[in-house]
A and B are shown apart, each in its own frame.
Chain A
Amino acid sequence: MRQLFRFHGGVHPPEHKAVSSAAPIVQARLPQRLIVPLRQHIGTSARACVAVGDKVLKGQTIGRAEGYVSAAVHAPTSGTVVAIDMRPVAHPSGLSDLCIVIEADGDDRWIERTLLDLARMDASHVRNRLRDLGLAGLGGAVFPSFIKLNPGATAKVPTLVINGAECEPWITCDDRLMRERAQDILTGARIMATLLHATDILVGVEDNKPEALAALQAAARSLDFPADIVAVPTLYPGGGAKQLIQVLTGKEAPSGGRSTDIGVQCFNVGTAYALARAVQHGEPLMSRIVTVTGAVARPQNYEVLLGTPMAELLEQAGRTSEANGVIMGGPMMGFDIADTAAPVVKATNCLLVKSPKLFPPLPRTMPCIRCGACARACPARLQPQELYWFARAKNFGKTQEYHLFDCIECGCCNYVCPSHLPLVDYYRYAKSEIWAREQEKNAADLARRRHESRVSRLEREKAERAERLAAKAPVKKAQATVPPDSAQAAARKALAAETLARVQAKQAAAAPEPLDPPASS
């Protein structure tokens, strides 16, 4: 038995997992139109590499990774690009984003796939391929995977943690994936371990998923490499990467750092599965398992092509009359979907359909009585009641002093608050205000440096003019009728030289950066 550790706080919300975990994964219907957003990952949006009217094949790259932190996007089926424009996407803001719309031809014809020959390819080549295959973390953060698979020039990452904790209530997509495709998950984990030079593979699964644990253990026995399948106590947010790493290794990822700083890298089981498909079959990431649950007629898990409009998936799960909203993700950290025309993306692990019965309106908020229940529940060991006061008072400096940015927004504080305060909302507000102010400050800094640069350039030009004048002066004097006063000319010249020196010294002191754009002159 592996020694397990515990993280501070945590809560036990009602699980509701059985609602959707019983039935096997089914293939969602091929929609007529797929809407593929170019930004489905953290980082820079992919750049479209097809044009309206182009025929595309299933798996064809339609958006290339742009910049370092980015990943490609692919056509989920064969068909025709009918539009590249702004569409509503799944985002808390409800804003639109650039999407490629594909009219499916119904043939679902694949592009030619090439497998990744790991024995012959060097690691950086493999990572580049994974980037081109669009791999991103499927646990929710959708960080491009190839970056996390780079152990750095000298560093080794001895421990690989595969996250199958799935701590959010209602969601069962990882549970079903582990039950049905454990072998592929472990194969993916093995490839990850090779790339990271990891020696330990730990698969953490909350102990409320005995079937998944059994399936993984059975799969692990038939493999030729060791993978430790570990049942961890069911406690939200035990599926947070930091929390799972703490439970499994007892180590805390440093604030502001990465888990690799303590020799651990963590991937979701879905990501490991997608990686195995990418390597062994050359399949890009263009489908994922989505739990559709809550107030629907047939709650279960679907394998869904990315780009499938949520409305079509919900239709397939069966609408009910009491449904009154959709959450993407779980009840603790998910967000309301404003428009179900938005497509399923790499981050869509669950569509949770709300009803007044399942999600009664939250009770009235009362003043904070400083009872400290939030602090006892906080897995980051923050003092949420203090952060709340400071955020409310717009004392953003103090919120940072009290480590606002170590908040993972898990919602535990909010959940236990007897005054029903929307604490997480206050923290998000404070964070976005701080970011906005930093941006403003950066913009102001840039403007100030531009201005300084301009002033010094003008001074330099003036000095140069003065120098030219000073150089011409004796000639002019010589041409004049007044006899040249050599002593006076020399004095003038000395004065000009002195001015020049002074200006140059001043310029050197100001040390302007070469930011002066020609347009501003």
Chain B
Amino acid sequence: MAVSPHILPPAQSVTRVMALVLLGLVPATLVYAWLFGPAILINVAWAALACVGLEAIMLRLRGYPVRPYLGDLSAVLTGWLLALSMPALSPWWLTLTGCMLAIVVAKHLYGGLGQNVFNPAMVGYAGLLISFPALMTQWPAPLALAHAQLGAADSAQYIFAGHLPAGLKLDAITSATPLDTLRTQLKQDRTLSEILRQPLFGHLGGKGFELIAAAYLLGGALLLARKVITWHVPLAYLAAVGLTAGVFHLYDVDHYAGPWFHLAAPSTMLAAFFIATDPVTGATTPRGKLIFAAGAGFLTVLIRILGGYPDGVAFSILLMNICVPLIDAHTQPKVFGHGGDDA
């Protein structure tokens, strides 16, 4: 016998939520391909395919109906996010390893959709960064700066077979990211203004990179407009990144990059709108979201500036994931009739 409510709005499902998030990733992915070459498209497609395949295997092994669960698009999203976090020219097996860490370990070993404690894409990324640090910092250079360009076919050949076109060296098409460059050169006692004058750097952040960041912002605005996410996480995350970076910058203007530099990094915008907003692994209460995102933003900058890795998004998110139950338990809104105000 049916129980109330007897009706549901027609177009409302987990699939729709995931599809909207994927839609939000489209602008940044296109800008990425435009400025850095088509390799990212191949990598996104391969990662999504790998994640869906692994998801199917895991669902089968765990005795879940494969078709409806694959249709939720969550595996596609995980693959896409992971691919965007990795160097676009990563070899196929590196991406596959990341997908396995994300889907098999972080998601299904913890109980599948909705049960995972850690953000799957970030587990994949962090695992790869620790295990294959050299490969994970070999980013394609912006086309405007690269000495050579790889077309789609060449990119595919490199990703899947490891061959570059004759006469082309890897160095010609890859470089360190702006964040990485900044970190390395600061260690060599160069001043900030010296470093930022190099061609790799643009108006606010890295040349080209800052446009990808802007495209993430655009996609994030779409998610906000469609009410897939609330304002709490992006605002708190970006504010915390800006404030933390600002404090360091004021402390030593010659050594620490300004808040705009950190905000214009693509990883910052990706985290603010697409990673820290993951509902499964983030806090759920309004105040909890603010604390969760502010903590992640603070840690992101701290790891970038003081830590051993060029970027801190993945570790900061994973560290805050651990705190979620505690944050949620202590930020419960006042329930109706318990003497509180509307939260």
Contacts and interface: CB of A to CB of B under 8 A. Distances in A.
Interface of A: 7-8, 13-14, 94, 169, 242, 252-257, 325, 327, 329, 331-336, 338, 354, 359, 362-364, 366-372, 375-376, 379-383, 385-386, 402-403, 406, 409, 411, 414-416, 418-420, 422, 424-425, 428
Classify the secondary structure of B's interface with A. Answer: loop
Given A369-B17, A375-B284, A381-B343, A332 B4 contact: yes
B6 A354 contact: yes
Interface of B: 1-9, 12-14, 16-17, 68-69, 72, 74, 112-115, 230, 279-280, 282, 284-285, 328, 332-340, 342-343
Contacts, number: 140
Nearest to B335: A403
15 contacts: A325-B2, A327-B6, A331-B5, A332-B5, A366-B68, A369-B74, A369-B279, A381-B333, A381-B334, A381-B340, A383-B285, A385-B284, A402-B332, A415-B7, A418-B16
B13 A420 contact: yes
B12 A416 contact: yes
Contacts of A381: 333-336, 340, 342-343
A380 B335 contact: yes
Contacts of A402: 332
Given A254-B337, A363-B13, A370 B114 contact: yes
Given A336-B1, A379-B336, 11 more contacts: A8-B336, A8-B343, A252-B339, A255-B336, A332-B6, A335-B3, A370-B280, A372-B230, A406-B335, A416-B12, A419-B14
A415 B9 contact: yes
B4 A333 contact: yes
Nearest to A94: B1
B333 to A, nearest CB: 5
Contacts of A8: 336, 342-343
Contact of B14 (A359, A385, A415, A418): A418
Contacts of A368: 114
Given A333-B4, A414-B5, A252 B285 contact: no
Contacts of A415: 5, 7-9
A328 to B, nearest CB: 10
A424 B4 contact: yes
A116 to B, nearest CB: 35
A411 B336 contact: no
Contacts of B17: 369, 371, 418
B15 to A, nearest CB: 8
Given A369-B114, A371-B279, A375-B285, A424 B5 contact: yes
A331 B342 contact: no
A347 to B, nearest CB: 14
A429 to B, nearest CB: 10
The 8 tightest CB contacts between A and B, nearest first, are A255-B337, A411-B5, A367-B114, A380-B336, A371-B279, A403-B335, A331-B6, A331-B7
B4 A334 contact: yes
A253 B13 CA distance: 34
A362 B74 CA distance: 22
B284 A255 contact: no
B3 A425 contact: yes
B276 to A, nearest CB: 14
Given A257-B337, A381-B335, A420 B8 contact: yes
A422 B332 contact: no
A336 to B, nearest CB: 5
A8 B337 CA distance: 12
Contacts of A325: 2
